[in-house]
């Protein structure tokens, strides 16, 4: 791991329709949880189940078996410059997240190091979603608590195609084929954003240039599928 030292939903569209599939690494095979483990542990809990080619955090199973069978999960591998693609859908009023550049350390939480693309039920004017939807930078697709994104999320229960591209400090988020935000990591502006956020007291947050991909257990049902990554 390197720490920076310096001051319809079944046919989602990609940002590149001519991509070479041989360049992509499958992170979820649709059949097993191979390649993933619970953050800070060697295995994965039973609340993370594989069904119909999806990776599902089952809140009912977690409640029945206890918190130890859930928890945030991370990839076995670390990644530096990458293009991550996956699809997600969230339960009504649900909350989850996709984290990156995670430094795994059982003595601290996953979000103490890894920035997050928010996964959320934003709700509608007539049907409220998760309470975080009322907070700027906490809505679906946002760089959580740092930067708001263009709102192009699909209604709750539908699949969303999320993409995170990080290459030599340039960070881009896409949702459902549209670029929703762009920023630069690790420069002075990045440091200022972190200093104004809930992460300001965390010395290692957002400073790693290599780390693991994480999926958040926020206690709500969430589904992921077609998870793959390309090294840049």
pLDDT, tens digit only, all 232 positions of the chain: 344 433 333 434 444 444 566 799 999 999 999 999 999 999 999 999 999 999 999 999 999 999 999 999 999 999 999 999 999 999 999 999 999 999 999 899 999 999 999 999 999 989 999 999 999 999 999 999 999 999 999 999 999 999 999 999 999 999 999 999 999 999 999 999 999 999 999 999 999 999 999 999 999 999 999 999 999 9
Which residues constitute the domain of residue 96? 72-219
What does the DSSP 8-state code read for residue 80?
A: S
* Within-domain flag for 26: no
Specify the number of domains making up the chain: 1
For residue 181, give the nearest of 115, 229, 124 by alpha carbon.
115
Partners of 166 in the beta sheet?
A: 82, 171
CB 9: neighbour CB atoms within 10 A? 13
* Within-domain flag for 171: yes
* Within-domain flag for 164: yes
* Within-domain flag for 114: yes
Residues counted in the chain: 232
143 three-class SS? strand
| pTM, rounded to two decimals | 0.91
* Within-domain flag for 32: no
Q: List, in order, residues 6 or more apart from 184 with CB less than 8 Å away.
A: 169, 170, 171, 190
HSE (CB half, 13 Å, CA atoms) of 188? 0
* Within-domain flag for 202: yes
- pLDDT number for residue 125: 87
| Phi/psi of residue 204, nearest 5 degrees | -105, 0
Distance of CA 115 to the CA centre of its chain: 8
CATH number of the domain residue 98 falls in: 2.60.120.560
* Within-domain flag for 38: no
Residue written as tokens 């969430």?
Answer: 222
* Within-domain flag for 136: yes
């Amino acid at each position: 791991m390197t720490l920076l030292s310096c001051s319809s939903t079944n046919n989602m569209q990609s940002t590149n329709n001519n991509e070479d599939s041989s360049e992509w690494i499958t992170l979820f095979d649709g059949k097993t949880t191979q390649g993933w483990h619970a953050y800070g542990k060697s295995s994965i809990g039973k609340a993370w189940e594989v069904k119909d080619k999806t990776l599902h955090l089952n809140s009912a199973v977690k409640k029945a078996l206890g918190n130890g069978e859930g928890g945030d999960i991370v990839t076995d591998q670390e990644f530096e410059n990458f293009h991550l693609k996956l699809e997600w859908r969230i339960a009504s009023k649900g909350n989850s997240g996709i984290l990156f550049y995670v430094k795994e350390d059982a003595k601290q939480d996953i979000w103490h190091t890894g920035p997050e693309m928010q996964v959320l039920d934003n709700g509608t004017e007539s049907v409220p979603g998760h309470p975080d939807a009322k907070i700027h930078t906490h809505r679906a697709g946002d760089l959580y608590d740092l930067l708001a994104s263009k709102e192009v999320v699909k209604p709750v229960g539908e699949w969303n195609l999320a993409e995170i591209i990080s290459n030599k400090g340039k960070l881009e988020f896409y949702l459902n084929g549209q670029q929703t935000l762009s920023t630069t990591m690790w420069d002075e502006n990045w440091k200022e954003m972190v200093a104004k956020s809930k992460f300001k007291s965390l010395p290692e947050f957002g400073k790693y240039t290599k780390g693991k991909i994480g999926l958040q257990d926020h206690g709500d049902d969430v589904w992921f599928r077609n998870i793959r990554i390309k090294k840049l």
